[in-house]
Structure 1
Amino acid sequence: MPWITLAIEQVVQWKLGLVGGASASLMAAGYKLGNTKCMIIGCTGLALILGSGGHH
């Protein structure tokens, strides 16, 4: 399972950049740990990046 998560995070980082990778990592960590704040911050970061067209 860690390899799948790492692969997904690498694809997200490749497509959306460093901030996208960090946001995806926060969202995944929040989900695994049951930490709602991390999930919200990660989801918000991804929404902002995707809302701007994915380019920064």
Structure 2
Amino acid sequence: MLAPALLSALSVAGFEQVVQWRYGTWGVVGLLLTSVGIKARNPAIGFAGAVVLATLFVGPVR
């Protein structure tokens, strides 16, 4: 029971680090807004996070 939870937490933390390394602070903000919107079942916040991530993915990376 502990191993899957630990593995899940490590994979989420690793994914967050990759997003921050590749897309900077705005990537983490977009990821945070999307996850909070999904957990809170608030489509407006989730959509705002998705828009932030989409503009980062489409735009040029520095």
* Same fold? TM cut 0.5: yes
Q: Percent identity?
A: 27
CA distance, structure 2, for counterparts of residue 27 and residue 37 of structure 1:
9
Matches within 5 A, 1:1-56: 3=9, 4-55=11-62
Residue 22 of structure 1: CA displacement? 0.5
1:28–1:39 CA contact under 8 A, matched in 2: yes
1:30–1:39 CA contact under 8 A, matched in 2: yes
Unaligned runs of 5+ in 1: none
Q: Quick check: 5-14 or 31-40, which moved more? A: 5-14
Which has more radius of gyration? 2
Count of residues in Structure 1 that have an aligned counterpart in Structure 2:
55
Q: Quick check: 34-43 or 3-12, which moved more? A: 3-12
